[in-house]
Amino acid sequence: MADAERKLTNSATRIDFQTDPSRYRHWKLETDGEVATLVMDVDEKGALFEGYDLKLNSYDLGVDIELADAMERLRFEHPQVRVVLLRSGKARVFCAGANIRMLAGASHAHKVNFCKFTNETRNGIEDASQTSGLKTICVINGTAAGGGYELALAADHIMLVDDGSAAVSLPELPLLAVLPGTGGLTRVTDKRKVRRDHADVFCTTEEGIKGKRAVDWRLVDEVVPNSKLEETIGRRVQEFAARSGRPAGGHGIKLDPLKRVRSDQGAAYSSVSVELVRAERLAVVTLRGPDGPAPQSADRMIEQGAAFWPLRLARELDDAILDIRVNEFDTAAIVFKSSGDPEHVLAYDAFLEANKDHWLVREIRALWKRTLKRIDLTSRSLVALVEPGSCFAGTLAELVLAADRSYMLIGAREGNNARAAAIALAEANFGAYPMSNGLSRLASRFLADPADLAKAEAERGKLLDAEAAERLGLVTFALDDIDWDEVRVFLEERASFSADGLTGLEANLRFGGPETMESKIFARLTAWQNWIFQRPNAVGEEGALRRYGTGQKPKFDTKRV
Amino acid sequence: MADAERKLTNSATRIDFQTDPSRYRHWKLETDGEVATLVMDVDEKGALFEGYDLKLNSYDLGVDIELADAMERLRFEHPQVRVVLLRSGKARVFCAGANIRMLAGASHAHKVNFCKFTNETRNGIEDASQTSGLKTICVINGTAAGGGYELALAADHIMLVDDGSAAVSLPELPLLAVLPGTGGLTRVTDKRKVRRDHADVFCTTEEGIKGKRAVDWRLVDEVVPNSKLEETIGRRVQEFAARSGRPAGGHGIKLDPLKRVRSDQGAAYSSVSVELVRAERLAVVTLRGPDGPAPQSADRMIEQGAAFWPLRLARELDDAILDIRVNEFDTAAIVFKSSGDPEHVLAYDAFLEANKDHWLVREIRALWKRTLKRIDLTSRSLVALVEPGSCFAGTLAELVLAADRSYMLIGAREGNNARAAAIALAEANFGAYPMSNGLSRLASRFLADPADLAKAEAERGKLLDAEAAERLGLVTFALDDIDWDEVRVFLEERASFSADGLTGLEANLRFGGPETMESKIFARLTAWQNWIFQRPNAVGEEGALRRYGTGQKPKFDTKRV
């Protein structure tokens, strides 16, 4: 069945997003001054699930987790690197794309989440270029098919070897009856601005396009004969390095392994805890504020390294969200809570703001931006509960703004002397963390009237009680202790609704206002792909995805819907 | 089965989009000076298909075909009308939305095309306001649920009776496990700019929102007690009429019934013919150019009325496309051809351009704009064949630009002395017919380099042969007679691909560049709805859509994908 779950290899019970270069099976990462070389050399026998081999540099989620990790490490551990050379370790093959047997056997839920993560990783490559000046040059030495070409599309510059056989292609439609699901169509039309009829020919031509036509049609930036390849690469590296604003001689910080203790009921990190309330289909994610004041200087921050609270918290939160996404499909809602002193959080935010041009602060904020975007794109209902003792201030207030709904308690709780709940906004809430639509969460929230945004801005730095926060439109409902039971009723009702209906509803309501290439990838392209991933022509017993490689031709329902 | 086709009532074999007020069963259209009143009073027994009654002003495609017709007639036949009052003929019910039993029994293909047409009709209401100054005021006298509220959302102004029970709601998710599929979510977030958490509460509250909260949350523009209703309506009519630029004392033209002869092999109109080549799954649509010169003056155009070639052709083309969409699901590709003198077409375009401020020319161009958008949104591969004797000039050249691919013959055909194929651009190709992304088809085509657009503009008015057209990027391939067989090979291959895959591919490649509220409705919202329309939680035997009204609760798969 298309919906049968594959088994993870080595008797693993969860997919783990944490890795490090010493454990990579599929990539080699080498740095040399301002250049890093990231070589894709997929271990055929290193599949994440049982039942398929990763031939021809094809990939599954496990391969992509290593790629995402490598990009993070380049950003934090190697700030001196200005150019990443993305290459293949296999002769005459760059990358054959997502592994088809993996796709054919994966559940719909895994396929969708696999595509979501690979999309986020490619967006991350582009963010590294835009935010950090870390440029990527992709060298295609042979076949770059499907997801292989889509990976290249995330680069700043695509070089194709001109040897009469190396070609780029998006053969998903003719071969598998699905779409290129990792941003390919959107990047072809909106990033590389390939003419729409050329794009039509390209996407329906199984063998792809090579040589001069690939350049004429804007599919690659240049074709280079093998004899001049290394020399040309050298030149391009110099050119792109010259455009990078990364700090010469910057010293990186080590991304130490996360402190994480997992139990059947959830996970405990240093500043995040996840409580899986399975009976109610909830994941309660609690963020803890800093224990003390912000460091006195950027040097002190560097000394703290990966232990620096904003960085540590972002990495832990990111891991927690990814884990829920692919390992806890039955979770209906993620409930965000926090504990700590909002003044301390504001102090950290002030520190980040004062040092915003420091390379490490830039990276930490970019990581928060990506993590928050990941939350926006997570197909679980998002709820923020702002209770006494919480610290939803500045950067942490973004979680309240990312929630589909938020509830805030008025005053104290009977028999509990924790200080009444307060929310505080900081500079960071007004542009440091844009959503995929290009707007801050506050600007997206107040599309109707910019005056509401100005009113919120005027209250920066103040501790706002529940009634003030409700008046400013920062929370959905302010409730007193007697009415707080409404939250329970709401969460129960939410869990009773159709999971699919909610996914579609939230994907629409969360992204009002403008669309960008990035938001189009997750809306137009992904939504159509999700549809196609349900259709018998792709995933049915006689569908193309199931019949690929069997020697049998797929049988299609010819109705155009 | 969710995919079982219902039978049309009265033994009809096709859905017909042609009607007129004398045949309306569900609407009453009255005009009085600058005000028209359009009353929805659905005939329960007037359903399009067998098996359900249209209770509580619920609608099916048949009801919407009449609404679309009424709006067209207001534009062409009643140019003096400045305000449409949209009201209900039923006590305490405005409209219950799309008929649920119809949806539960309809095939996936019908559901998707039903939503597409109703979306186009609501976009048409907004286009009438923006392009023609025909303003719509919606008076909600009771329940406006689901599609009922979505209809109201298309209006310029929404009035809600304040009687303690009249309410607006989008109960699709809690009640039926589907989305509001007629633009509702997008209009809530992007037109009315409802705050996202308020939208979340609204769309998950079955009973909806009424009274002051409906105004506070921007869901309606005002609530009015019954005692003051007619007086307030009178005032609003005056206000909106004052904002309209429609011509005082303009005399309309009658939209006579189309001349159409249908056979099993297609249809013949006065200037359009449709040939259904079923063995090859093609619909060949041939447009005929004008027989003679353009009229000498706007008065002559008015005398010709609905027989005026550009108007007649647009109406016929629109009908032909709609017919293929909902009656010929097995058609894989629409092949556009034309015959006639391109100079004559250019002369007509010059006439329209010279008279572009005339109300009738404005309406004719707006109709072409809508028809071309309908073609962009048609889920069939679109192919233009530019052959000797064709007249793809000016307005008709838009069909070449709308095509996924175009082929143009170089020179003459052996043994045939028809004049070699030529394409010509006119002023109209540079802004008169924007796509739903807000750009002209040429601007969308040349996103990569505005210089290409300027080059095309410099050739306006010239007859361009195949090689010139290819050089300018106006056609995909220029082929000589010997290579023309490639077209047959291409069409055969196209028909062999997955129908669903092509629908998704084309929905992405056709709409590069910016997104607008309108394009979001058809991409983000529609794509998610199509997905949900496939999911067992909605359409399965135990799904909410199937179980609605049975007394049995739906059973949901709780996995969040």
Q: How close is the nearest chain A Cα to the Cα of B229, in Å?
A: 27
Among B232, B244, B230, residue whose Cα is nearest residue B34: B244
Q: What is the mean pLDDT of residues A37-55?
A: 97
Residue of B114, B176, B186, B196 to mutate when probing chain A, most A C-beta within 10 A: B196
Whether A258 shows a pLDDT value over 80: the answer reads yes
Q: Please, which pLDDT band fits residue A418 given cuts at 50, 70 and 90?
A: confident
- Whether the predicted interface score ipTM is above 0.90: yes
Q: Is B168 helix (H, G, I), strand (E, B) or coil?
A: strand
**Cβ–Cβ of A508/B500 closer than 8 Å?**
no
Distance of alpha carbon A22 from its chain centroid, rounded?
23
Give the DSSP H or E segment for B384. strand B381-386
The answer for residues whose C-beta is within 8 angstroms of residue A111's C-beta and 6 or more apart is A103, A533
Q: Is B78 helix (H, G, I), strand (E, B) or coil?
A: coil
Q: Would an 8 Å CB–CB cutoff place B553 in contact with chain A?
A: no
d(CA A307, CA A256) in angstroms, rounded, equals 8
Percentage of residues of chain A with pLDDT beyond 90: 96
Which residue shows structure tokens 């859509």?
A: B545
C-beta pairs of A259-266 under 8 Å, 24+ apart in sequence:
A260/A18, A260/A316, A260/A319, A262/A14
Q: Which residues of B touch A506 (CB under 8 A)?
A: 200
The answer for residues whose C-beta is within 8 angstroms of residue B238's C-beta and 6 or more apart is none
d(CA B529, CA B523) in angstroms, rounded, equals 10
CB-closest option in B197, B447, B560 to A331: B560
Residue of B nearest to A537 (CA): B498
pTM, full prediction = 0.97
DSSP A26: S
Q: Would an 8 Å CB–CB cutoff place A494 in contact with chain B?
A: yes
Q: Do B333 and B324 touch, CB atoms closer than 8 A?
A: no
Structure tokens at B561: 């994908």
CB-closest option in A195, A406, A511 to B473: A195
Residue of B nearest to A516 (CA): B514
Q: Is A301 helix (H, G, I), strand (E, B) or coil?
A: helix
CB-closest option in B197, B447, B501 to A532: B501
Q: How close is the nearest chain A Cα to the Cα of B45, in Å?
A: 28
**Cβ–Cβ of A512/B196 closer than 8 Å?**
yes
Residues 44-83 of B with CB under 8 A from A: none
d(CA B507, CA B491) in angstroms, rounded, equals 19
Q: Do A526 and B201 touch, CB atoms closer than 8 A?
A: no
Q: Which residues of A touch B446 (CB under 8 A)?
A: 195
Residue A6: predicted pLDDT: 83
Q: Do A527 and A106 touch, CB atoms closer than 8 A?
A: no
Tell me the residue ranges of DSSP E strands in A146-186. Answer: 157-161, 167-169
d(CA A114, CA A275) in angstroms, rounded, equals 24
Q: Which residues of B touch A515 (CB under 8 A)?
A: 514-515, 520, 524
Q: Which residues of A touch B188 (CB under 8 A)?
A: 509
> Residues in chain B with pLDDT < 70?
1-5
Q: Do A182 and A150 touch, CB atoms closer than 8 A?
A: yes
Q: Would an 8 Å CB–CB cutoff place B262 in contact with chain A?
A: no
Residue of B nearest to A495 (CA): B558
Between β-strands A97-98 and A143-145, what pairing exists: parallel, antiparallel or unpaired? unpaired
Residue A116: predicted pLDDT: 97
Residue of B nearest to A195 (CA): B445
CB-closest option in A473, A498, A525 to B195: A473
**Cβ–Cβ of B500/A445 closer than 8 Å?**
no
Residue A1: predicted pLDDT: 32
Residue B3: predicted pLDDT: 42
**Cβ–Cβ of B197/A403 closer than 8 Å?**
yes
Which residue shows structure tokens 């206002």?
A: A513
Q: Do B222 and B159 touch, CB atoms closer than 8 A?
A: yes
Residue of A nearest to B495 (CA): A558
Edge-to-edge strand list for the sheet holding B405-409: B260-263, B266-269, B272-277, B282-288, B333-339, B381-386, B405-409, B477-479
Q: Which residues of A touch B113 (CB under 8 A)?
A: 561
d(CA B515, CA B503) in angstroms, rounded, equals 19
Q: What is the mean pLDDT of residues A489-518?
A: 97
The answer for residues whose C-beta is within 8 angstroms of residue A543's C-beta and 6 or more apart is A2, A177, A535, A536, A537, A554
Residue of A nearest to B450 (CA): A193
- Mean pLDDT (chain A) is 96
Question: How big is chain A by its Cα radius of gyration, in Å?
Answer: 24
Determine how many CB atoms are found less than 10 A away from the CB of residue B315. 24
CB-closest option in A501, A538, A557 to B173: A501
Residues 167-206 of B with CB under 8 A from A: 172-174, 177-179, 185-186, 188-190, 192-201, 203-204
Q: Please, which pLDDT band fits residue A50 given cuts at 50, 70 and 90?
A: very high
**Cβ–Cβ of B556/A498 closer than 8 Å?**
yes
Residue of A531, A532, A548 to mutate when probing chain B, most B C-beta within 10 A: A531
**Cβ–Cβ of B503/A561 closer than 8 Å?**
yes
Q: Do A336 and A397 touch, CB atoms closer than 8 A?
A: no
Residue of B nearest to A403 (CA): B197
Question: Which neighbouring-strand residues pair with A187?
Answer: none
Q: How close is the nearest chain A Cα to the Cα of B524, in Å?
A: 5
From residue A388, alpha-carbon distances to A341, A342, A473, A480 in Å are 11, 11, 19, 11
Among B380, B558, B500, residue whose Cα is nearest residue A533: B500
**Cβ–Cβ of A196/B404 closer than 8 Å?**
yes
Q: What is the mean pLDDT of residues A257-266?
A: 97
Residues 440-459 of B with CB under 8 A from A: 444-449
Among A115, A30, A126, A39, residue whose Cα is nearest residue A81: A30
Q: Which residues of B touch A505 (CB under 8 A)?
A: 173, 179, 185, 200, 203-204
Residues 314-343 of A with CB under 8 A from B: 329-332
Residues 401-440 of B with CB under 8 A from A: 403-406
Residue A5: predicted pLDDT: 66
Question: Which neighbouring-strand residues pair with B83?
Answer: B35, B135
Interface A-B, measured as beta-carbon pairs within 8 A, has a size of 291
d(CA A508, CA B489) in angstroms, rounded, equals 41
Edge-to-edge strand list for the sheet holding B143-145: B93-95, B143-145, B167-169
d(CA A224, CA A218) in angstroms, rounded, equals 15
Residues 515-544 of B with CB under 8 A from A: 515, 520, 523-525, 527-532, 534-535, 537-538, 544
Among A148, A147, A156, residue whose Cα is nearest residue A128: A156
Whether A2 shows a pLDDT value over 60: the answer reads no
Q: Do A479 and A386 touch, CB atoms closer than 8 A?
A: no
Q: Is B383 exposed, middle or buried (0-12, 13-18, 19+ CB in 10 A)?
A: buried
**Phi-psi domain of B144 (left: phi exceeds 0; alpha: psi -120 through 50; beta: other):** beta
Structure tokens at A345: 């959080």
H-assigned helices in B244-358: 298-304, 309-327, 342-354
Residue of A528, A530, A547, A548 to mutate when probing chain B, most B C-beta within 10 A: A528
Which residue shows structure tokens 């994440």?
A: A48
Edge-to-edge strand list for the sheet holding A266-269: A260-263, A266-269, A272-277, A282-288, A333-339, A381-386, A405-409, A477-479
Structure tokens at B217: 């949350």
Q: Crossing angle for the helix pair B309-327 and B342-354, nearest 10 degrees? A: 110
**Cβ–Cβ of B189/A509 closer than 8 Å?**
yes
Which residue shows structure tokens 């010239």?
A: B462
**Cβ–Cβ of A196/B113 closer than 8 Å?**
no
d(CA B273, CA B280) in angstroms, rounded, equals 18
Residue B344: predicted pLDDT: 97
CB-closest option in A178, A331, A510 to B196: A510
Q: Which residues of A touch B507 (CB under 8 A)?
A: 524, 528
d(CA A69, CA A62) in angstroms, rounded, equals 11
Between β-strands B58-59 and B27-32, what pairing exists: parallel, antiparallel or unpaired? unpaired
d(CA A475, CA A336) in angstroms, rounded, equals 13
Q: Would an 8 Å CB–CB cutoff place B28 in contact with chain A?
A: no
CB-closest option in B194, B196, B515 to A520: B515
Between β-strands B333-339 and A381-386, what pairing exists: parallel, antiparallel or unpaired? unpaired
H-assigned helices in B244-341: 298-304, 309-327
**Cβ–Cβ of A560/B331 closer than 8 Å?**
yes
**Cβ–Cβ of A499/B537 closer than 8 Å?**
yes
